[in-house]
Amino acid sequence: MSRKQITGIGPTPRTGADDTGCPILHVDMDAFFASVELLDRPELRGSPVIVGSPAGRGVVLSATYEARAYGVHSAMPMSRARRMCPQATVIPPSHGKYTEVSKGVMEIFHAITPLVEPIASDEAFLDVGGARRRLGSPAEIAASIRAQVLERYGITCSVGVAGSKFVAKLASKQCKPDGMLVVPADEVVAFLHPLPVSALWGVGERTEQTLVRLGIRTVGDLARVPPGTLQRELGQAAGGHLAALAWGRDERPVTAHVPDKSIGNEETFATDVDDPETIRRELLRLSERVAARMRKSGHVGRTVSVKLRRADFSTITRSRTLREPTDVAQVIYTTACELFGAAGLERVRLRLVGVRLENLRPADSASHQLTLGERETGWREAERAMDRAIHRFGPDAVLPASLVRGRLDEMET
């Protein structure tokens, strides 16, 4: 194969793999949260670093590649990560810093093309087909992005260049860290078929087990199976989807400004909690955060869900769809408490709780009808007044009384 992989930041590549027909870029920051933290801790470069709770609760948010060499990865329980790499330096997360850098990186993308589809704070798809005449070939644009991110923020990213979103994302993963990989249109099949079947979107642990049982271990193995067989084993939609991906067929366009499908927050307790009052207080805190984010984003939602994780890491979720969409914390909180009570876990030790609002729509598209006896001025207006006070004086300027009492109790203990 002649596909071109480039590592490090060097001269803009003008030769190598043919990037004709490869307008899709997948840009993925390398160990993003950890890389941002190392900007303030340069003495830790080259050593294993984990971003997460130093108390050992919660999960790994990010890890340097030195820590990953010991098997540490994102979403792993912190307790397990520390056992696997006890010499790692653990840094608590600084979400404000990540948001600031992420915003700047996205601005670099938008200066190149309006067709930017963020996947997370640290990765995005770009369609640069319309930028070629102005900025050069897709490979040249990818190299420019990598150079700009390094120059402005001192961190690296990896870029996959291909004709589809699916192949571009696989390419960026293959060239990590700090690399670029172009997969020419006529070499997609040769690139895909040696990969493990788990590389395909939609192949989780259970699907992989089913495929391995059928003797399918690589993408090439799967490509040689008749689509009808896959559909019979995996279902009509999943079988057809994987059969198409195995041959590199992915027609999805890069879609700019994808709206949030849900907005939520969750919290891992410092120690497991079985006190219902403490859990309800946390549900209130989370409901306040979710409602504030909803109002800031200009959305309302109809479905409230709660996430409850027991001490043994088993997790249940409960949800309820409201009669009308809302962005009011009191409505979210009341529903969350009812869901918590119905789950039957009021005396069970919990390590994590979460609140989420789903089924979103723009706030200006949702009319609010007053229920019998409801005053025109109530919680919605009060919470918007709280938003203005918090914006001016800081996040602790206004708190519900129960949260103030809870904070005082914490200070006394």
CATH of residue 216's domain is 1.10.150.20
Using a 10 angstrom Cβ sphere, with 0-12 exposed, 13-18 middle and 19 or more buried, the burial of residue 17 is: buried
Q: What is the CA radius of gyration of the chain?
A: 24
C-alpha distances out from residue 72 to 64, 151, 273, 321, Å: 9, 29, 27, 38
In a domain, 154, yes or no: yes
163 and 198 part of one domain: no
Specify the pLDDT at position 231.
Answer: 87
C-alpha distances out from residue 263 to 103, 131, 269, 361, Å: 19, 33, 20, 11
In the listed set 137, 161, 186, which residue is the last one of a domain according to the structure? 186
270 and 208 part of one domain: no
Specify the pLDDT at position 10.
Answer: 35
42-48-49 Cα angle (round to 5): 65
In a domain, 252, yes or no: no
CATH of residue 130's domain is 3.30.70.270
177 and 209 part of one domain: no
In a domain, 272, yes or no: yes
In a domain, 257, yes or no: no
Non-local (6+) Cβ contacts of 34 within 8 A are: 49, 50, 51, 62, 63, 64, 67, 91
In a domain, 254, yes or no: no
| Residues tagged active-site | 123
Specify the pLDDT at position 18.
Answer: 87
The number of domains in the chain is 3
Taking the C-alpha atoms of residue 406 and residue 143, their distance in angstroms, rounded to an integer, is 51
- Looking up tokens 């067929």, which residue turns up? 249
Taking the C-alpha atoms of residue 32 and residue 63, their distance in angstroms, rounded to an integer, is 9
Specify the pLDDT at position 382.
Answer: 60
In the listed set 148, 164, 186, which residue is the last one of a domain according to the structure? 186
CATH of residue 387's domain is 3.30.1490.100
169 and 198 part of one domain: no
pTM: 0.71
Non-local (6+) Cβ contacts of 264 within 8 A are: 286, 290, 305, 307, 354, 355, 356, 357
- Looking up tokens 């409201």, which residue turns up? 322
67 and 105 part of one domain: yes
Binding residues for Mg(2+): 28, 122
Q: 323-381, pLDDT tens digit by residue?
A: 999 999 999 999 999 999 999 998 899 999 999 999 888 876 544 444 434 444 456 66
C-alpha distances out from residue 78 to 75, 86, 122, 271, Å: 8, 11, 21, 14
Specify the pLDDT at position 15.
Answer: 38
213 and 305 part of one domain: no
In a domain, 233, yes or no: yes
Put the strands of the sheet holding 49-51 in their side by side order: 62-63, 49-51, 89-91
In the listed set 186, 210, 236, which residue is the last one of a domain according to the structure? 186
285 and 381 part of one domain: yes
Specify the pLDDT at position 238.
Answer: 85
Binding residues: 28, 122
By the 8 A CB rule, do 40 and 105 touch?
Answer: no
Residues of the chain with pLDDT under 70: 1-16, 56, 258-259, 364-413
In a domain, 59, yes or no: yes
Specify the pLDDT at position 370.
Answer: 41
Nearest CA among 73, 52, 43 for reference residue 176: 73
How many Cα neighbours within 13 Å face the side chain of 116? Answer: 20
239 and 286 part of one domain: no
211 and 136 part of one domain: no
Which value, to the nearest 10 degrees, does the dihedral of the CA atoms of residues 66, 67, 69, 70 take? 140
139 and 232 part of one domain: no
Q: 3-57, pLDDT tens digit by residue?
A: 455 444 433 333 357 899 999 999 999 999 999 999 999 999 999 999 998 876 7
In a domain, 399, yes or no: yes
Taking the C-alpha atoms of residue 35 and residue 39, their distance in angstroms, rounded to an integer, is 7
Q: How many CB atoms lie within 10 A of CB 194?
A: 11
Q: Which domain holds residue 401?
A: 262-412
Chain center to CA of 210: 27
380 and 344 part of one domain: yes
41 and 138 part of one domain: yes
User: Tokens for 384?
Assistant: 């918007």
